[in-house]
Structure 1
Amino acid sequence: MSEQVSYQDGALHVERVPFARIAEEVGTPVYVYSASGMTARYRALEAALEGLPVSIYYAIKANSNLAVIKLFAGLGAGMDVVSGGELARSLRAGVPGSKVVFAGVGKTAEEMAFAIDSGIHQFNVESEPELRLLNEVAASKGVVAPAAIRVNPDVDAKTHAKITTGRKENKFGIDIARATEMFELAATLKNVSLRSMSVHIGSQLMDVAPYRAAYERLRGATLSLRQAGHVVDHLDLGGGIGVSYDGSTPPDIADYAEIVKDTVADLDCRLSIEPGRYLVGNEGYFLTRVLFVKHGAERRFVIVDGAMNDLIRPTLYEAHHEIVTVEESPAGEEAGLVDIVGPICESGDYLARGRKFGAVAEGSLVVLKSAGAYGAVMSSNYNSRPLCPEVLVEGDSFRVVRRRQSFDEMLALEEGLS
């Protein structure tokens, strides 16, 4: 868990900023990110990989706020994007196209053209039709597009079914047994250069052992391709390193680095990895205010102003977020079971169910920890609720890096319709 949050004089702070001050100046609900925490995460990963030919590309789908992208770009990271919109965000944040990798299973011709015009580093291709389309788009531009094939190694990442990506039954990648076939096809296409493979077996891996199995299969495919006369000079090792949401022991990145060293470091390839959640997950917080405390027939409901449209992970993934009060609870206070729920007209609108929680009053502030990844990026306007703001904390100061959406902004795209 992050070390950036602590009680100081009975009030919860992130770095040196009280959460209550953020609530007073920005309102609730609001996402709060720690710049120091994100920086420390990046530096720790960089240190673990020292001596290996590995470049870090931040997977911005985890948190695509422009300020967050700029922070990691400033630390030296490239960007891993999965849509034209994410590419536009990277460019707007000042990241050169040459430091962007474009992944994703369903790229359109328009997205490919945009990426080519932006001079991206590499397309991670996920199917034969995509490779052929990329060749056509590149030909129309009169260029040769740099490509990798994403191989599916059929490795069980032992993670949630909705975020596993490396099994044969998943939609992602090309069966690793077809790697040679794909390289042979690429050799007949004049406007793609295929010299790389990528692999990504899932998100939120708490056990690094599956990486070893996947990378060993990637190593075998690389040696087979070279034996067949193909050039392979880059391997994209994907991301997926998990974080602790409930105080459990997180993966050891030194163990991960050792797997990279044991399996692929001696292949004379440039290597890259694409962490997302690992860098931002524990460094973000969702701050919300208690509206009502309702005593039902069988349980107590704490109704807050944050909802599933703001943070959908508990509903979508049955995800656990540690929840604490902004005011430190008295020692020895008895905790009862509560459901912490939002105002949306859905039984699925909850942030926690059956959670032990102390006494709270209307107007109290509560914080959901580890909300930096797949929080704000997955929010919506369901129930016509405006998108909430995002705040970046740096030391004893903070700034709003996405302001709260107004009703007029939310309705603007529909105005003028007859």
Structure 2
Amino acid sequence: MDHFLYKDGVLHAEDVPVAEIAAEVGTPFYVYSRATLTRHFRLFDEALDGMEHLVCYAMKANSNQAVLAVMAKLGAGVDVVSGGEYARAKAAGFPGERIVFSGVGKTVAEMEAALTGGIRQFNVESEPELARLSGVATRLGLTAPVTIRVNPDVDAKTHEKIATGKSENKFGIPISRARTVYAEAAALPGIEVVGIDVHIGSQLTDLAPFEAAYVKVAELTETLRADGHDIRRLDLGGGLGIPYERSNSAPPLPVEYGDVVRRTVGHLGCEIEIEPGRLIAGNAGLLVSEVIYVKSGEDREFLILDAAMNDLIRPAMYGAYHEIVPVIEAPAGAETTTYDIVGPVCESGDTFTKGRAMPSLAAGDLVAFRSAGAYGAVMSSEYNTRPLIPEVLVDGHQFAVIRARPTFDDIINRDTIPHWLEDPA
């Protein structure tokens, strides 16, 4: 469920007409619903009710400071994967004890920042990282709490570019080597082993891969405890999918995911951490765009929008589907047209969809991409010197711009011409 509904034939973000935002902010722009963000976080929190747990929002899905502030005020933890994300988390009000640091390539500078600024745990992905973290912590006279990410070699049955739990993926250590690596960790100075980490992929629409992975984690927990390790925390990752295509069957609900967690690891007495991102933010956002032209090709109609692949790259990168709807609702029985929906960037890949049946549209009409709150703005760029588009947060009847559109001067003035290229006076 989200809070983007038609009211009197006009698409609203909560209680604000989307067209009203467009008139004030200009297109294209992203708009997020605080009510939807809140609801989706609470669904996960309630799904783990009765177990000691922390829902750590995966910031990589949407890292706007206002979105993070919503999560922090709800009592969420946060999962970060870079020094920049760590800085964002602290600036948004997350205390160190609610920040989990993941990622395969943590640098010394990132380790130092997290150790001195406060950290719940590092999710360590390799033996070289473990050794480096030990050295950094020892030099600073601090102790680094760690889980070690194990790769369970489970096929998540998702897109190959967002699968992370198979043996050929770059993430984690093979679960077959876990006992050896945990023994190494226990012997290192400056390291405190607190648990196990696992994450098998993103946009999972079947609970079976989760269950298979978590059964392996439960067996590993018992083995490591028998080896003398104090395994008291299990980070089970994120990855539960959202319904991009509303005509398809819906993915499992958070409550059903919670049942899998209880069934597989609930008996171990561990604190449970999960890292949802897409399911919290995805359906909490729209990308709103205006039709520039309707163009007739040789054998097709093109709907040319002012949004482009630099604003929303998922269709170009993954072949991802987004439902695209008119902001002014078409009346029942209205004429439809089949369009290739494209942007203005000078790439053939700047195509959102081909052969999509839509209510017939004209230049100046507004459309909205649903399920655009995750991996939209965070993956955008200024390709073709197109400014990053505004982000807007709605809360009931009010809205605010939470990231402004830069001017061309803002973009150009970030570059510097070396003195030896300047014209002599």
TM-score (norm 1): 0.98
**Structure 1 CA distance for aligned equivalents of residues 299 and 393 of structure 2:** 40
| Equivalent in the alignment of 1:259 | 260
**Structure 2 CA distance for aligned equivalents of residues 326 and 316 of structure 1:** 26
**Structure 1 CA distance for aligned equivalents of residues 47 and 228 of structure 2:** 34
What are the within-5 Å matches in structure 2 for residues 278-317 of structure 1?
Answer: 278-317=279-318
Give a deviation string over 1:182-231, Cα, whole Å, max 9, x none.
11111221111112110000000111111110000001111111111222
Q: 1:409 to 1:268 in 2, by over 3 A?
A: same
Deviation at 1:5, TM superposition (A): 1.5
Moved more, 286-295 or 178-187: 178-187
Give the residue type in structure 1 aligned to 2:398.
S
Task: Find runs of 4+ consecutive structure 1 residues off by over 4 angstroms.
Answer: none
Query: Is 1:46–2:64 an aligned residue pair?
Result: no
What are the within-5 Å matches in structure 2 for residues 256-405 of structure 1?
Answer: 256-405=257-406
Deviation at 1:8, TM superposition (A): 1.5
**3-state SS of paired residue (1:348):** coil
Q: How many residues align?
A: 417
Give a deviation string over 1:109-144, Cα, whole Å, max 9, x none.
111111111111100000000000001111121111
| Equivalent in the alignment of 2:422 | none
Deviation at 1:416, TM superposition (A): 4.2
What are the within-5 Å matches in structure 2 for residues 14-413 of structure 1?
Answer: 14-247=13-246, 248=248, 249-413=250-414
**3-state SS of paired residue (1:61):** helix
Deviation at 1:11, TM superposition (A): 1.2
Deviation at 1:26, TM superposition (A): 0.3
**3-state SS of paired residue (2:393):** strand
Q: Are 2:46 and 2:255, in contact at CA under 8 Å, matched by a contact in 1?
A: no
**Structure 1 CA distance for aligned equivalents of residues 7 and 228 of structure 2:** 63
**3-state SS of paired residue (2:384):** helix
| Equivalent in the alignment of 2:423 | none
Deviation at 1:234, TM superposition (A): 0.8
**Structure 2 CA distance for aligned equivalents of residues 327 and 141 of structure 1:** 59
**Structure 2 CA distance for aligned equivalents of residues 105 and 417 of structure 1:** 36
**Structure 2 CA distance for aligned equivalents of residues 176 and 222 of structure 1:** 11
**3-state SS of paired residue (1:413):** coil
Q: Are 2:51 and 2:271, in contact at CA under 8 Å, matched by a contact in 1?
A: no
Q: Are 2:2 and 2:283, in contact at CA under 8 Å, matched by a contact in 1?
A: no
Q: Are 2:193 and 2:229, in contact at CA under 8 Å, matched by a contact in 1?
A: no
- In structure 2, stretches of 5+ residues that fail to align are 420-425
Q: Are 1:53 and 1:265, in contact at CA under 8 Å, matched by a contact in 2?
A: no
Cα RMSD for the two superposed structures: 1.0
Moved more, 136-145 or 99-108: 136-145
